[in-house]
Structure 1
Amino acid sequence: MLVTLAVLALVAYGGWRAFDYAEETYPQHLPWTPLSLDDPIGHATSLKVAALSGDKPACLALFETSDLAVTPFEDRMETEQCGYVDAVTLDRMTAGYSPSTVRLSCPLAAALGIWEQDVVQPAARRVLGSEVASIRQLGTYSCRRLYGRESGNWSQHATAQAIDIAGFTLADGRSISLAGDWGADSDAGAFLLEIRNRGCGVFGTMLGPEYNAAHRDHFHLQANGYGTCR
């Protein structure tokens, strides 16, 4: 936040020249600059990702200029509340996924790509000494209400706008899970805490074991939301 205020103050003081400098130097902090999957994470990143909702062409265009790849998937509403919205299939990310078929909203795919490139892989290399080879996911789409209740609000999983991540397999063969390693006084525990904390700058909603018992064994990630991070 302090960086963002400093940039805006610089623009206000220096006029258009400072404005241009800020856009060129700190685009990740400015909500009006275009999003790039290759930019570092900034104060405006999660807002820009959320703004992709409902604009599938703009979201797909991000992947055309990136090493990451997705394939458009046909949007399909099965009921009034349930179906695929802005849907894509993950094709090429920095790591594989298990199960390998991942269909989800394009903004969420963009958020995952940023998180993997800027948070997960650097933390894995630095803290664990090995890159992440595979990410274990518990699913994206599920036509259900929150927590499987019979009434109440519908889950973001009902429109494939959320993914649950349970763990990671490293290139050297080690396995890390939220169920077994969250909160541990270990490198694995430190890795999980870092990718949760820094992921909050990418996802509109990021829930984990500290949120409630229902999330004790996974991260729940959404591109949309109101900055909930626990």
Structure 2
Amino acid sequence: MDTVSQIFDKWAKNGRDELMEKEHWKNVIKFLKTVSFDKPFSFLDVGCGNGWVVRKISESNHCKKAIGIDKSKNMILQANTKKKNKTEKYINTDIESLNDKVKFDFVFSMESLYYVDSIDVALKKIYKLLKPGGKFFCGTDFYSDNKATIKWSNMMKVQMHLLSKKEWVEKFKNTGFEVKTKHIKDLKNKKKWKREFGTLFITGEKAERQSSN
């Protein structure tokens, strides 16, 4: 088991998974409200933790299936205990190992993509997993423009890829995505960085028609 899985296994046992849910809930829900879920769709959450985003998404009348994956076995156990309906499914795996034969309309990731061995490899896999016209939403508080959070990697004592907003955009573009960014801020939060920088969301859209080149 790698160090990241070990850390999140411990967090799932000591209740920190619920703290993460509470920390991110406001900005994530605010972002998701800007997304149109007005027709039948499938949804994948990469690094789903205890499944809180999957549970929220699965409440949509148009949600056909919502799958959450996480490297932490204990996080998946927690997600299954909180399961609310039949459209939810949780799998103990990482993005690199996930079968890419099943395609999704939307892929989501909050505070997890920077833990992977290679962001480029992970992005290519996510691109494969998306249907033409599908979208990948990547949320992070850990980016170099936000000076208050760059100490997190030393605190966590694990590999965390620290990129700037510009570098994130470049990696998405190099993968083939059309890219948009949005900062979701919590203007009433006590923490200055949450008011001034907030969560960076990078949206990558896969073209409707793929080039034959």
| TM-score with structure 2 setting the length | 0.27
Structure with the greater alpha carbon radius of gyration: 1
